[in-house]
Amino acid sequence: MTTQPHPAWTPPADLVEASVLRDYQAWLVARGLRPAGAETEPYADLHRWSVERPEEFWGSLVDYFDVPLERPPGAPVLGSRAMPGAQWFPGSTLNYADVVLRHRGDGVAVVLVVEDGTRAELTWEDLRGQVGAVA
């Protein structure tokens, strides 16, 4: 006889409802990508969908999170399903600096701690300025 393990922690309902997972699920339903009611068990539904239809799942994540992929017109999300060796977003490019620098925070972006304990910090504003100077 097997028993299901009990979770170590269950988030309160208000935290669940305010989560990115719930927002993503509602976004999918609003666009007709998932059936209404699928959000009642978002993790199980999304896991099943990601396994059964990975092209739709990963394509939707790119759209939801507004990932700035440069994709050739009509390029598939998944060029080959072979494992190992699957080809995701073939022909697409992504500028990592553009993605990282989309963050508009005012706080610390990078912390450097040297072996001797010396510490240095770089703010998001400084980081954007230094990257812009290099560009």
Q: Are residues 36 and 65 in the same domain?
A: yes
DSSP string for 84-129: S--EESTT-B--HHHHHTT---SSEEEEEE-TTS-EEEEEHHHHHH
Residue 65 covered by a domain: yes
Are 85 and 104 members of one domain? Answer: no
Residue 1 has what pLDDT? 60
**pLDDT one-digit tens code per residue, 46-88:** 999 999 999 999 999 999 999 999 999 999 999 998 889 899 9
Same domain, 79 and 120: no
Is 4 inside any structural domain? Answer: no
Q: Comparing C-alpha atoms, which of 24, 70, 13, 17 is closest to residue 50?
A: 24
Check residue 31 and give its pLDDT. 93
- Containing domain of residue 115, as a range? 100-134
Handedness of CA 31, 34, 40, 43 (dihedral sign): negative
Amino acid at 13: A
Same domain assignment for residues 90 and 105? no
pLDDT confidence bin for 39, thresholds 50/70/90: low
How is residue 76 annotated by DSSP? Answer: -
DSSP string across 33-47: SS-TTGGGSHHHHHH
Instruction: For residue 76, give both structure tokens.
Output: 């598939």
Indicate if 39 and 76 belong to the same structural domain. yes
Can you give the pTM of this predicted structure? 0.74
How many domains are there within the chain?
2
* Claim to verify: residue 90 and residue 107 sit in the same structural domain: no
Q: Within this chain, do residues 53 and 89 fall inside the same structural domain, yes or no? A: yes
Within-domain flag for 22: yes
**Across 94-110, average pLDDT:** 84
